[in-house]
Amino acid sequence: MTTTHLPPDHPLGSGLTADAPLINQYRGSRSSTGEPARSGRRPVWFMRQAGRSLPEYRRLREGTTMLDSCLNPELASEITLQPVRRHGVDAAIFFSDIVIPLRLAGVGVEIKPGVGPVLDSPVRTAADVAALPELDDAAFAPITEAVQRTVAELSTLGPEGSAVPLIGFAGAPFTLAAYMVEGRPSRDHLGPRAMMHADPETWNALAAWAADVSGRFMRAQVMAGASAAQLFDSWAGSLGRADYQNHVFEHSRAAFSHVAGLSGVNGVSAPLIHFGTGTGEILDLMKDAGADVLGVDYRLNLAEATRRLGPGTPLQGNIDPAFLTAGWPVLETHVREVIAAGSGAAGHVLNLGHGVPPETDPAVLTRVVELIHSLDDEAAV
């Protein structure tokens, strides 16, 4: 963490993506009328836009495990680009997974189809935490290569040959540590929530380890060419406010510190987004942890999010994935309502309130993108 300068040829610093609709909204550049200030195109991308909803993804993934495909630069890059080509979204999100830093550090982990991340041995005691391996920076080589390949392709994939920004990401310390303690996905995350009270010292050591590997994973992606970074604290909504404040906040802040203020020669720094589900009661803390932009899930109306955070905070979200199968008229009304609810924030990037369900008809996603892009200069509702 020595420099805060992006390399000179970084797309954000060189100007390729600095004025992209996505980056403008993330930077809160809306005019006081609530309309996008510098570009008429309303930006949209989807969490899990790369993945099983796309037949071209299912074809490419045949015969390769999830984590092996993430570590194959050619494959990871191609999968990242697929939804940009198909849907015309305003951002690519790097195809990887929150457990990749564990794999790169040498922790035994697999992603079981239909289940999620499963560890060979859960991390539950002080001795387990002390035995966690060091993650060597050299291990990020396949990530750096995949990002570089992707960014080169993205440099002309936007409208009229413009560049599409790449978003890097990592798992937040709580969500990553939750998988490590439970050893597999769980509903209530009792393991990590018990550990932070029963043995705070071990919890803090584990969360600090997770913050370090996740922060460096995000930093590797931004330094290699990603123009923004999103920290996923998908399970933070299972925490009470006091627990978030006392046992998680500092660790998420530590993760963000690895990418804070990384700026190009033009002074533009990579926007940082913080997302979780069920996090309505802790949105302000998630912002204070180091986020420029708050990702909001489908449970909280965006106007209410702005009331809680103040109008200066750009928002991302929050189309309810359930509407994707509800039929077009119902979905269109919902999308317009989301746009209207977000209009009081300094910036708004459309997204889903959580990831694309695998059974989603991709044609519906493309139509949502077309609708959002068609609403440039007219009132949405």
Where along the sequence are the contacts to ligand CP3 (CB under 6 A)? 47-52, 61, 66, 93, 95-98, 111, 113-114, 116-117, 169, 175, 185, 232, 234, 355
Which residues in 352-367 are b (16+ Cβ under 10 Å) and which e?
Answer: bbbbbeeebebebbeb
Cα(109)–Cα(124) distance, integer angstroms: 15
Catalytic residue among 41, 42, 61, 193: 61
Judged by beta carbon, residue 18 or residue 209, the one nearer ligand CP3 is 209
Nearest residue relative to ligand CP3 (C-beta): 234
The one catalytic residue among 52, 85, 308, 336: 52
**Is 48 a catalytic site residue?**
yes
Q: Catalytic residue at 97?
A: yes
Question: Which amino acid makes up residue 206?
Answer: L
Q: Looking at beta carbons only, is 174 or 249 nearer to ligand CP3? A: 174
Q: How far is the CB of 77 from ligand CP3 (least distance, A)?
A: 12
Q: CA-CA distance, 12 to 168, in Å (whole number)?
A: 13
> Least separation, in Å, of the C-beta of 95 and ligand CP3?
5
Distance in Å, CB of 186 to ligand CP3, minimum: 11
Active site residue 219: no
Q: Which is nearer to ligand CP3, 80 or 202 (CB)?
A: 80
Active site residue 179: yes
Which residue's CB is nearer to ligand CP3, number 48 or number 247?
48
Of the residues 27, 42, 48, 216, only one is catalytic, namely 48
Active site (catalytic) residues: 48, 52, 61, 97, 179
